[in-house]
Structure formats: structure tokens, C-alpha cells
Amino acid sequence: MNLTFPRLLLQHAATRPQADALREKEYGIWQNHSWAGLTALTEQLAAGLHLAGLQRGEHFVVIGANRPRLYAVMLAGQSLGAVPIALYQDAVAAEMVFPIQNAGVRLAVVEDQEQVDKMLEVRESYPELGRLYFDDPRGLRHYNASGLSDLNALLSEGQTFLATQAKDARNGYSVWFNQQIEQAQSEDVAALFFTSGTTGNPKGVVHTHRSLIDRAQAGQEFDRLTEKEEVLAYMPLAWIGQNIFSYAQWLVCGYVVNCPESASTVAIDLREVGPTYYFAPPRIFEALLTSVMIRMEDAGWLKRTLFKRFMAVAQRVGPARMQGSTVSLSDRLLYALGDLFVYGPLRNNLGFSRVRVAYTAGEAIGPDLFRFFRAIGVNLKQLYGSTETAVFVCLQADHQVSADTVGVPCRGVDIKIADNGEILVRSPGLLQGYYKNPEATAEVLDADGWYHTSDAGFLDQQGQLKIIDRVKDVGRLKGGVYDGAMFAPKYVENKLKFFPFIKEVVAYGDQREQVCCFLNIDFDAVGNWAERRNLSYTGYTDLAQKPEVYELMRDCVNQVNQDLSADHLLAGSQVSRFLVLHKELDADDGELTRTNKVRRGFIADKYRVLVDALYEGRAEQYIETQVKFEDGRSGSVSATLQLADATVVKKGRHEAHREAA
């Protein structure tokens, strides 16, 4: 089928003209846009953009929050065969210059004054950006920049143009509009997504109508999505995740996309809308859980007790229930009771009452966090994908969910693991390439059509994909029992960091016999733990070096080792020795990046004596470190650190166990 987004729009307008397409909360009321209304709006905008000189194949940018008119602008541009590029609305002007120049953008449609200011700044270095349109005129009354105008002006020009056009008898829209849409083919470029490369300039990922629509359909089939779904669109449209969920799948399935009133009302709007299909990165779920826990701490005795009691039941019964396994009658009754008093109201409060399918993706999610939402009856699942794959590569099926895998390959996807452990993907949703960047394209797309994800992972026995680490970070052990085994530092670090007591971890093991790691305690969590045990301490360094704290850490490490040993590929990554650092790793000292990722190499150099001491098997080591205080002064912290051993599950035992099984 030769599908494009504007053709899908016309289909919905023809088959269900009065059904809701978009809703936006404005002035305290949810305002509806029907498919017919949206199509008429799109037609007018298309006519306006046509008069403004937007050409077939030309790129234009759209910047702003999820607003119905901005959605219509993207559809209007695509109707003319132009290519919309959504940019992150919180990016500063300097970051916007590159994509705009790179894609040769001459026209921008933005939400408000803030974005107009940025565009005017971009224009100083890139005068080709001639035409600017804004949705919200507030504060822009006295702007007199050339080429700047209100979207309403564009609309009325479009209306005037359309008044002179003949109507098409088939659907009541103008012949001109229908012809424009018919000219576009599914192989044409539909959109560009700029990925925020950690190094160098961002790269424009080119997707066709076919690649986006195909993946949207794959997701639709997998979860049996219908036109009855409700979605709340609150993440940036520049992010392909939001674009797929609230644009591509919206047009494919024909469900309703709800736009929140403002960024600060998302929680309220979520409750009012009660979405059935929900997507968020782990940090959003984490924030929700934290807010629940804080409110429960403040609640009265009765509520708190009920919550504790029934959450214990939920933790035991809930996940099994969600997996579809059999649950004893008494447990089922208890759970039903809990659902009535606790889980139901809680889901309602979080806006999850009607959620049928919820996804998290983007980074590893902590097992406790994941379990919590499944325990209270939210069907939270994981998926794997990226901008380059138009999201859907792997998805978890309803009853086959686990915290440390990302699901099975969905329709049309081939997965191959390269010799270095890298996951290679072939799917109809792959990018056409990076815009004007053939070198970068050649690096990720090979001649046989495999996309190199630069993630290392493997398919487990159930056929579920498991992500381990970035390929460049994966190392090999050398010598010892696990000679040549894979060492995935981030995987080990994440597993340890999921314990609330552990804040940061740095693991070493590449080209070594065994794995050793540095731990950072979470001062609040461990401090609280110590207080409850009447363990007195004078400060961070003192607390970190308490023998009791070491025991606590050892328990965590041993548990992780136990877990790792069950995994024949990663059994070698078990931690044999560890130490607890006397100071918090800090971005000011260069130990973390500004986004709080550990800089493994830098830390290894800085704490060379500690790494050596761990591998030499010493029991303690004196260290003095320079630190920078927040006011810019520097000083030094010194301590004698204890080095501790952890229990490593032996290879033989595990192998025997596997054979027995």
C-alpha cells in the first residue's frame, strides 16, 4: 500500500469525520478537534505554506510543545511533500543553528515568543531563515522582524487561496489539496530527526513515510491497538519516541491524542484523560514512585498501614498475576481486596486507571521500580529501539515481561549478534541514512542492510533480547577461571546501582583476571539505615568506612554475583573485590560527566593506587585526594580505605547446575 501520513489523514476524515482526533486543554476545558476539522485546518495551512513558497522536498522546522496546530502544520507540510523537522523546544539557539543550516531550512513554525527569539538569534548567523510563523502571539505584538507573522495570517491567506479552488467531489476538499497529497509517495522522505550525538555535531536521521508507517503498524499489531486508545502527548515531538506514539501511530490507528494544558499540569491532565496507551522513560516512572512514597510517609497511620500491608501482597501476587500464571484462591481474594482499597485508588491517582499498555524505554529500569508498577496492576513493559530504527525493534509481549530484557523482535525485524557482541538489526523501519553525512551512514549501515546499533547484547533462551552495554565499553577478562569471558562494566554497575544504598559504581576488569569495583554509598539512604540501627557516624567519610556499611555493601555485591552467575555469558563479570570510596564522585572533580555518567578511565587514573591495591589483594590502602568545593576553593580529603572480598559463585558449580537443568 502506498501510504503517506496525509493520505492516512484523508482516510480518517472520510471514514470517521466527526470522531475526535486531537484534544487540547485550554481555558480549563478539553477542546476537541475532529478528523474533519483537523483536515480542513491542514488544508488551509497547506495552502498558506504553499503561498509562502514551501517547496516539495524542502525542509522546514517546527518547534514547540505538543499543540494541535503544530501537528496540523507538520501534516500540511507533508501534504506539500515538504519535510518537517521537529527540534527540541528547550534547546538554546546555538544548538539549533546546526540542524537548521545543515538541512537548509528557510521556514520555521514555532510555538511562542521564546522560540521566536531563538529563531531571530539563529537568523543572525543564518539569514536564509527567511520566514517565521508563531502560534501564540503573546508578547510578540511589537516585533517587527521581516518575514515574521502570526499563524492566523497564514491561515487566512490559505483560506483566500482555497476559495478560488474547485472542490473535489470525492471528499469535499479542494482538487488542489488532493492533487498535492497524491503526488507524494510512501518512498518519499517524511521527516528528519536530529540525534543529539554525544560527540561532534548532531546527525539528521532520514525517515520515509514507509519506514515510519511500517513500524507504527508493527507496534499496532503487536499490542492490538485500536482507534479507541487515548494517548497523552507530553514529551518533546523532536524525540522519535513521542513522534511515533503521538503522530505516526496516531495516524495509523486513528486514536485520540490529548495535549496537556501546560508542562506543569501534566500530572493533573494525565488523571483527567486516563490514557489507555502510555509511554515514558524510566525517570518519569521513578518520579511517580517517589511522589507516591513521599505522600504515603505523610499519610495517617491507618492509610500507611493499609498501604504497607497490601503492597506486600501486591509485590507477591501482582507480578505473577500479570504474567498470567495461576495464583491461589486466597491470594486472589487478598489481591482483590487490595485492589479495592489501595491499588485501584492509587492507579486512579496516578492517571493509570485505564492503561492497557504502558512502555518504558531509553535506559535500564530498576527491577524494584518496574515491579512496583506491575504489582499494582499497570501493564508496564519494555521495548528496544532508537531513532535510527523508528523505535520498534523488540517489544515485550503481555505475559512475558522481565526487568532485564527488552522483549522479542517484532514483525519484520531480523536480529544478528556480531562477533564483538554488537546487536545488528535489519528491519523495514531503518533510516535511509544520515542527512548529508555518508561517512556516518556507512559506519552504521553495512552493504547487507544491517544497522549497527553499537549496543552489545544477546538473545536469551526465550528469544528475548538482553542489552548489556555499549559495544565500545565491553571488555574481556584475561587469565584466571573466566579467561576470555565478556566483561560488561555498565551492566554490572547498573545492577549494583539499583540498590537504594548504592549511589555510584565504577567497575574494572578489562584485560584483568577478575572484576573489582569502587562503590559510592547513597548518603541519605545509608545514613537513614544507620540511624535506624543506632549506628553513630560523624560524616560521609566516617559512615562510608563503617564495618557495618561494608557488610551491607557486601550483601548487595553478593546478590548481584548470584544473579550474574546464572547468566553463562556474564558469569565472569562477577565482582570479586570492592571498596567503598571515602568521597562522593563529583562532576566538579571531573569524575562524572555533567549528565552524571561515571568517567571510568579518568577515575582509574586518579585512583590508580586504589585499583592497584584491589588487584594486589591488599586489605587496606591510604589515599589522599584533591577535591574542589562548590565555592571554587580546593582542599584535600584523606582516608585509609578498607578493601573487601565478595563471594564469587564458582564456575564449576554453575555449569553442573546447568547440566542438571
Partner 1 sequence: MSDRGTSGKKIGDVILDVQNISLRFGGVKALTDISFDVREHEVRAIIGPNGAGKSSMLNCINGVYTPSEGSITFRGQQFDHMNSRQVAEMGVARTFQNLALFKGMSVLDNLMTGRNLKIKSNLLLQALRWGPAEREEIQQREFVERIIDFLEIQAHRKTPVGQLPYGLQKRVDLGRALAMEPQVLLLDEPMAGMNVEEKQDMCRFILDVNDEFGTTIVLIEHDMGVVMDISDRVVVLDYGKKIGDGPPHEVRNNPEVISAYLGASH
| Contact footprint for partner 1 (CB under 8 A) | 26-29, 117, 120, 138-139, 141-145, 148, 261-262, 264-265, 268
**Residue 282: how many other CB atoms lie within 10 Å:** 17
Whichever of 265 and 626 has its CB closer to partner 1, that residue is 265
The beta strand positions in 339-411, using DSSP E, are 357-360, 380-384, 394-395, 408-409
Helix, strand or coil, per DSSP, at residue 360: strand
- Residues counted in the chain: 661
CA distance 523 to 98: 41
CA distance 402 to 405: 6
Q: Please, is 263 exposed, middle or buried when counting C-beta atoms within 10 Å of its C-beta (0-12, 13-18, 19+)?
A: exposed
Whichever of 140 and 440 has its CB closer to partner 1, that residue is 140
- Residue 561 in contact with residue 647, Cβ under 8 Å? yes
Whichever of 139 and 463 has its CB closer to partner 1, that residue is 139
CA distance 570 to 4: 44
- Residue 401 in contact with residue 371, Cβ under 8 Å? no
Instruction: Provide, rounded to whole angstroms, the least separation between the CB of residue 351 and partner 1.
Output: 14
Instruction: Provide, rounded to whole angstroms, the least separation between the CB of residue 27 and partner 1.
Output: 4
CA distance 577 to 554: 9
Instruction: Provide, rounded to whole angstroms, the least separation between the CB of residue 140 and partner 1.
Output: 9
Whichever of 126 and 143 has its CB closer to partner 1, that residue is 143
Instruction: Provide, rounded to whole angstroms, the least separation between the CB of residue 235 and partner 1.
Output: 18
- β-partners of residue 61 are 85, 108
Sign of CA dihedral 196, 199, 201, 205: negative
- Residue 230 in contact with residue 275, Cβ under 8 Å? yes
Instruction: Provide, rounded to whole angstroms, the least separation between the CB of residue 270 and partner 1.
Output: 12
Whichever of 27 and 629 has its CB closer to partner 1, that residue is 27
- β-partners of residue 575 are 515
Instruction: Provide, rounded to whole angstroms, the least separation between the CB of residue 141 and partner 1.
Output: 6
Whichever of 134 and 277 has its CB closer to partner 1, that residue is 134
CA distance 288 to 281: 12
Whichever of 12 and 131 has its CB closer to partner 1, that residue is 131
Whichever of 268 and 604 has its CB closer to partner 1, that residue is 268
Instruction: Provide, rounded to whole angstroms, the least separation between the CB of residue 219 and partner 1.
Output: 31
Instruction: Provide, rounded to whole angstroms, the least separation between the CB of residue 492 and partner 1.
Output: 41
Instruction: Provide, rounded to whole angstroms, the least separation between the CB of residue 28 and partner 1.
Output: 5
Whichever of 117 and 286 has its CB closer to partner 1, that residue is 117
DSSP string, 286-335: HHHHHHHHHHHHHS-HHHHHHHHHHHHHHHHHHHHHHTT----HHHHHHH
Sign of CA dihedral 600, 601, 606, 609: positive
Residues 6+ apart with CB under 8 A from 61: 84, 85, 86, 87, 96, 99, 100, 103, 105, 107, 108, 109, 110
Whichever of 146 and 534 has its CB closer to partner 1, that residue is 146
Instruction: Provide, rounded to whole angstroms, the least separation between the CB of residue 226 and partner 1.
Output: 31
The DSSP bridge pattern shows strands 256-259 and 230-232 to be parallel
Written as one letter, the residue type at 632 is G
Whichever of 271 and 452 has its CB closer to partner 1, that residue is 271
- Residue 376 in contact with residue 414, Cβ under 8 Å? no
Instruction: Provide, rounded to whole angstroms, the least separation between the CB of residue 119 and partner 1.
Output: 10
- β-partners of residue 230 are 256
